[in-house]
């Protein structure tokens, strides 16, 4: 199909070229075959160029034989025509590195340099040499070279640009009815203006006055239809101008044939070149705007899907922009421009100072900022937001723009709060369950001071029944009762602290003292299980910022796990070593036992949900312990050691 189009175009183009010859010169004012062959090479793959050249040779030979031109001259002209097309197409394809499209300014510049000027410039020397050698035509070498060069420049500017512009994907584009109607009106107006300039209707004086009549339509075509419109309009004006001048009409028909040909060519070339560049610039700008709109649409879709608010503030222009999602977030009115003041006015009063300080710090350092805050909407609703952004500076170091994005994390924050409350409740229930397991031991711990109190009270009653009261002995009895009461109260207070809901208050905690307190609670249970506890507590241990109730639960779980791990260990070997140490800004607590150790294949499995080595265990104890430690900014670990296992956790020092 391409070969047939090239054959027909080359053949009829040659016929038109002969009609555009200003005699007595043998060179046409506009020679279409070269331009058609060049356009065909630009639009087809390099591997098929030989087919295009063979088809063009057949058409060239056929049309030239009909004009009684000697065969040698026919062949020489085809050689020069082919050289021009190959030079132009080869250089252009090499520089553009892809499909040749005239929708970018750089591509049009390359096309003009390679195809419009370089290729005709070089091939004209060969062409005119063939003409002189064969004695064909009249005129000097440089006269024929000049006419041939300008003829091919004009043909390439008009026909080649037209074919390449429409041959890429021009016909594949669907044009609306409105655009087709506009194009029809443009073409009709251009034809009328050009016909009035280059026809017998206009006199020489009127023709000179109407010389710029087609210009508005040419600009219209370039601005509204890009390169395709400009190339089409240029071709229409060129054909009408050459036809009119060849028949003696228009402003370029009053001089000699040579002068008329030069005038027409200079006029059309000087008009065509800037229009093609303008059309390419307009089309490239429209394509850039379309790409920007598509990108904005994709970004808008992404932000809508991700529930994001975007905003920008241009300090140079004093303008600000926020997307529709952002207006919904902050409840800005349709015509209201977001400002820093209006934004801060919606921030919760407790967060306002912190957010403002974050913005000021980012403004002074131009570092990216991030802030989580509460937003108080006009209807009183409170929403949680996270905002990220950055201040930009220009080449002079002045603030130029602020860009930011915000996301509503209210639902996530509420879910995290609910999860934290559920986790705290589970931890409390775990403590209650643990206290249930220690009921007998705790009863024994309370029974001892209560029994001592009862005995001392009975002895005191007997002392009071005596005639002679020993006040010193009675005071000692009261001191013993007071001491035992405090001991019983301490046990009850420890139980109460463990089973009540934690208020989440963090304060400096001495881990050594906390370990001693837990061991006092477990004293009877440890004796009942024949378990010895040794401590190696580091002196002057740094305090940690923590919730003491939560840390008591951690220690209780670890110690009781160690006790249960030694169930099958002989009583004489049931020993637990609890140690503390400072470690590079952290405080580490270690609980080591002489039990069966951790699973050898996967020690970390013990921290999995619902995994338990105890027959009636829920598998939540160590999971809760790890969550408590990690909430305090620490880490929990376990390892097998010689003769048992060791659990340890590290917390940042206060």
pLDDT greater than 70 at residue 603: no
- How many whole angstroms separate alpha carbon 208 and alpha carbon 229? 25
Whether residue 620 sits in one domain with residue 499: yes
pLDDT tens per residue, range 388-425: 888 888 878 788 888 888 888 888 777 777 766 666 66
What is the structure's pLDDT at 496? 58
Straight-line distance from the first to the last Cα atom of the chain, in angstroms, rounded to the nearest whole number: 84
Whether residue 522 sits in one domain with residue 554: yes
Residue 295 within a domain: no
- How many whole angstroms separate alpha carbon 317 and alpha carbon 402? 12
Whether residue 602 sits in one domain with residue 551: yes
Domain boundary at 286, 318, 342, which?
286
Nearest Cα to Cα of residue 626 among 491, 460, 426, 472: 426
Whether residue 144 sits in one domain with residue 98: yes
Could you tell me if 257 and 242 are in contact, meaning their C-beta atoms sit under 8 angstroms apart?
no
Residue with tokens 């040909």: 261
Cα dist. 89→33, 107, 158, 249 in Å? 15, 13, 16, 36
- Which range marks the domain in which residue 314 is found? 307-408
Which region among 390-394, 497-501, 639-643 has the lowest average model confidence (pLDDT)?
497-501
What is the structure's pLDDT at 173? 54
Q: Is 23 helix (H, G, I), strand (E, B) or coil?
A: coil
Residue 415 within a domain: no
What is the structure's pLDDT at 495? 56
Residue 573 within a domain: yes
Whether residue 215 sits in one domain with residue 76: yes
pLDDT greater than 80 at residue 505: no
For residues 311 and 203, which has the higher predicted lDDT (pLDDT)? 311
The continuous run of DSSP H or E covering 534 comes out as strand 532-536
Q: What are phi and psi of 101, to 5 degrees?
A: -130, 135
Rg, the chain, Cα only = 48
Residue 416 within a domain: no
pLDDT tens per residue, range 257-280: 677 777 888 888 888 889 999 988
Q: Which two tokens stand for residue 306?
A: 């991700």
Residue 566 within a domain: yes
Cis, peptide link before residue 225, omega less than 30° from 0: no
What is the structure's pLDDT at 201? 60
Within 8 A by CB and 6+ apart from 550, the residues are 427, 502, 628, 631, 632
Q: What is the CATH number of the domain that holds 464?
A: 3.30.565.10
Q: With pLDDT > 70 as the criterion, what percentage of the chain qualifies?
A: 79
pLDDT greater than 90 at residue 316: no
Pairing mode, strands 532-536 and 575-583:
parallel
- How many whole angstroms separate alpha carbon 69 and alpha carbon 75? 10
Pairing mode, strands 382-393 and 532-536:
unpaired
Q: In the predicted model, what is the mean pLDDT of residues 296-321?
A: 76
Q: In the predicted model, what is the mean pLDDT of residues 158-171?
A: 79
What is the structure's pLDDT at 608? 60
- How many whole angstroms separate alpha carbon 298 and alpha carbon 280? 26
pLDDT band, residue 610 (cuts 50/70/90): very low
Looking at the DSSP assignment, which residues form a beta bridge with residue 581?
588
Q: How many domains does the chain have?
A: 3
- How many whole angstroms separate alpha carbon 532 and alpha carbon 509? 25
Q: In the predicted model, what is the mean pLDDT of residues 71-78?
A: 84
Domain boundary at 385, 408, 431, which?
408
Whether residue 205 sits in one domain with residue 87: yes
pLDDT greater than 90 at residue 578: yes
- How many whole angstroms separate alpha carbon 557 and alpha carbon 431? 9
Q: With pLDDT > 90 as the criterion, what percentage of the chain qualifies?
A: 9
Q: Which two tokens stand for residue 270?
A: 């000087």
pLDDT band, residue 71 (cuts 50/70/90): confident
The burial class, CB within 10 Å (0-12 / 13-18 / 19+), for 252 is: buried
For residues 497 and 252, which has the higher predicted lDDT (pLDDT)? 252
pLDDT greater than 90 at residue 429: no
Whether residue 245 sits in one domain with residue 159: yes
- How many whole angstroms separate alpha carbon 125 and alpha carbon 622? 93
Residue 298 within a domain: no
The burial class, CB within 10 Å (0-12 / 13-18 / 19+), for 248 is: exposed
Whether residue 557 sits in one domain with residue 473: yes
What is the structure's pLDDT at 172? 45
Q: What are phi and psi of 566, to 5 degrees?
A: -100, 25
What's 462-495 look like in SS3?
Answer: HHHHCCCCCHHHHHHHHHHHHHHHHHHHHHHHHH
Cα dist. 99→20, 85, 283, 343 in Å? 32, 17, 17, 50
Which region among 9-18, 309-318, 435-444, 576-585 has the lowest average model confidence (pLDDT)?
435-444
Whether residue 394 sits in one domain with residue 255: no
What is the structure's pLDDT at 315? 82
Could you tell me if 320 and 311 are in contact, meaning their C-beta atoms sit under 8 angstroms apart?
yes
Q: What are phi and psi of 600, to 5 degrees?
A: -70, -35
Q: In the predicted model, what is the mean pLDDT of residues 534-550?
A: 87
pLDDT tens per residue, range 622-638: 777 887 888 888 888 88
DSSP 8-state class, residue 418 = H
pLDDT tens per residue, range 208-258: 567 778 889 999 988 888 888 899 999 998 888 888 777 777 777 666 767
What is the structure's pLDDT at 585? 87
Rounded mean pLDDT of the chain? Answer: 79
Whether residue 267 sits in one domain with residue 313: no
pLDDT greater than 80 at residue 544: yes
Residue with tokens 């312990």: 625
Residue with tokens 């409840």: 331
Could you tell me if 541 and 511 are in contact, meaning their C-beta atoms sit under 8 angstroms apart?
yes
pLDDT band, residue 117 (cuts 50/70/90): very high
What is the structure's pLDDT at 398? 83
Residue 332 within a domain: yes
What is the structure's pLDDT at 24? 56
- How many whole angstroms separate alpha carbon 158 and alpha carbon 32? 9
Whether residue 505 sits in one domain with residue 400: no
Domain boundary at 286, 317, 342, which?
286
Residue 414 within a domain: no
Distance of CA 282 to the CA centre of its chain: 29
Whether residue 27 sits in one domain with residue 162: yes
Q: Is 38 left (phi over 0), alpha (psi -120 to 50) or beta?
A: alpha
Cα dist. 132→57, 127, 265 in Å? 22, 9, 23
What is the structure's pLDDT at 517? 83
Which region among 38-47, 300-309, 549-558 has the lowest average model confidence (pLDDT)?
300-309
What is the structure's pLDDT at 621? 66
Distance of CA 166 to the CA centre of its chain: 36
pLDDT tens per residue, range 324-336: 778 888 888 877 7
In 440-513, DSSP assigns E strands to: 507-509
**For 38, what's the count of Cα atoms within 13 Å in the CB-facing half-sphere?**
36
The continuous run of DSSP H or E covering 385 comes out as strand 382-393
- How many whole angstroms separate alpha carbon 518 and alpha carbon 434? 13
The burial class, CB within 10 Å (0-12 / 13-18 / 19+), for 14 is: buried
Q: What are phi and psi of 213, to 5 degrees?
A: -60, -40
Within 8 A by CB and 6+ apart from 197, the residues are 207, 210, 211, 213, 214, 240, 241, 244, 250, 251
Within 8 A by CB and 6+ apart from 632, the residues are 544, 545, 546, 547, 550, 551, 651, 652
Nearest Cα to Cα of residue 121 among 89, 153, 158, 92: 153
pLDDT greater than 60 at residue 345: yes
Q: Which two tokens stand for residue 265?
A: 């060519």
- How many whole angstroms separate alpha carbon 28 and alpha carbon 22? 7
């Amino acid at each position: 199909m391409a070969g047939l189009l090239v054959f027909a175009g080359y053949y009829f183009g040659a016929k038109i070229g002969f009609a555009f010859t200003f005699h007595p010169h043998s060179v046409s004012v506009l020679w279409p075959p070269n331009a058609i062959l060049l356009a065909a090479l630009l639009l087809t793959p390099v591997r098929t160029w030989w087919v295009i050249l063979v088809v063009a040779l057949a058409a060239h030979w056929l049309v030239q034989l009909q004009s009684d031109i000697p065969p040698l001259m026919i062949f020489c002209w085809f050689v020069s025509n082919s050289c021009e097309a190959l030079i132009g197409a080869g250089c252009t394809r090499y520089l553009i590195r892809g499909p040749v499209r005239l929708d970018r300014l750089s591509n049009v510049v390359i096309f003009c340099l390679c195809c419009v000027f370089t290729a005709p410039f070089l091939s004209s020397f060969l062409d005119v040499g063939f003409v002189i050698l064969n004695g064909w035509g009249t005129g000097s070498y440089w006269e024929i070279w000049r006419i041939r060069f300008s003829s091919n420049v004009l043909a390439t500017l008009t026909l080649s640009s037209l074919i390449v512009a429409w041959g890429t994907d021009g016909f594949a584009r669907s044009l609306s009815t409105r655009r087709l109607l506009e194009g029809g009106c443009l073409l009709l107006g251009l034809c009328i203006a050009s016909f009035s300039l280059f026809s017998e209707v206009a006199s020489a004086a009127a023709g000179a006055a109407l010389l710029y009549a087609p210009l508005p339509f040419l600009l219209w075509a370039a601005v509204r239809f890009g390169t395709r419109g400009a190339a089409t309009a240029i071709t229409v004006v060129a054909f009408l101008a050459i036809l009119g001048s060849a028949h003696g009409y228009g402003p370029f028909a009053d001089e000699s044939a040579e002068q008329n040909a030069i005038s027409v060519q200079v006029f059309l070339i000087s008009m065509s070149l800037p229009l093609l560049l303008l059309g390419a610039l307009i089309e490239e700008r429209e394509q850039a705007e379309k790409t920007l709109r598509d990108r904005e649409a994709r970004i808008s879709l992404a932000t809508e899907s991700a529930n994001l608010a975007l905003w920008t503030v241009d300090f140079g222009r004093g303008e600000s922009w926020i997307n529709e999602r952002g207006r919904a977030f902050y409840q800005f009115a349709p015509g209201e421009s977001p400002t820093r003041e209006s934004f801060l006015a919606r921030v919760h009063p407790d967060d306002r100072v912190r957010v403002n300080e974050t913005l000021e710090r980012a403004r002074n350092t131009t570092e990216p900022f991030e802030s989580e805050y509460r937003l108080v909407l006009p209807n009183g609703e409170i929403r949680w937001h996270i905002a990220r952004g950055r201040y930009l500076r220009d080449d002079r170091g002045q603030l130029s723009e602020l860009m930011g994005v915000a996301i509503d994390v209210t639902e996530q924050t509420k879910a995290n709060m609910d999860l934290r409350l559920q986790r705290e409740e589970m931890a409390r229930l775990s403590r209650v369950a643990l206290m249930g397991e220690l009921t007998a031991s705790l009863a024994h711990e309370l029974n001892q001071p209560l029994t001592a109190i009862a005995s001392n009270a009975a002895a005191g009653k007997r002392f009071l029944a005596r005639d002679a009261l020993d006040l010193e002995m009675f005071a000692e009895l009261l001191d013993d009762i007071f001491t035992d009461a405090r001991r019983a109260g301490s046990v009850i207070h420890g139980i109460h602290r463990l089973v009540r809901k934690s208020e989440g208050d963090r304060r400096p905690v001495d881990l050594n003292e906390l370990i001693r307190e837990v061991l006092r609670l477990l004293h009877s249970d440890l004796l009942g299980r024949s378990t010895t506890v040794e401590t190696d507590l580091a002196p002057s241990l740094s305090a940690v910022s923590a919730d003491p109730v939560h840390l008591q639960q951690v220690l209780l779980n670890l110690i009781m796990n160690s006790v249960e791990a030694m169930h099958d260990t002989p009583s004489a070997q049931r020993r637990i070593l609890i140690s503390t140490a400072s470690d590079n800004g952290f405080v580490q607590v270690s609980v080591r036992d002489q039990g069966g150790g951790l699973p050898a294949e996967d020690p970390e499995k013990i921290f999995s949900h619902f995994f338990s080595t105890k027959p009636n265990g829920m598998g939540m104890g160590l999971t809760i312990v790890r969550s408590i430690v990690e909430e305090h900014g620490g880490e929990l670990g376990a390892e097998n050691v010689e003769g048992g296992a060791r659990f340890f956790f590290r917390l940042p020092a206060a």
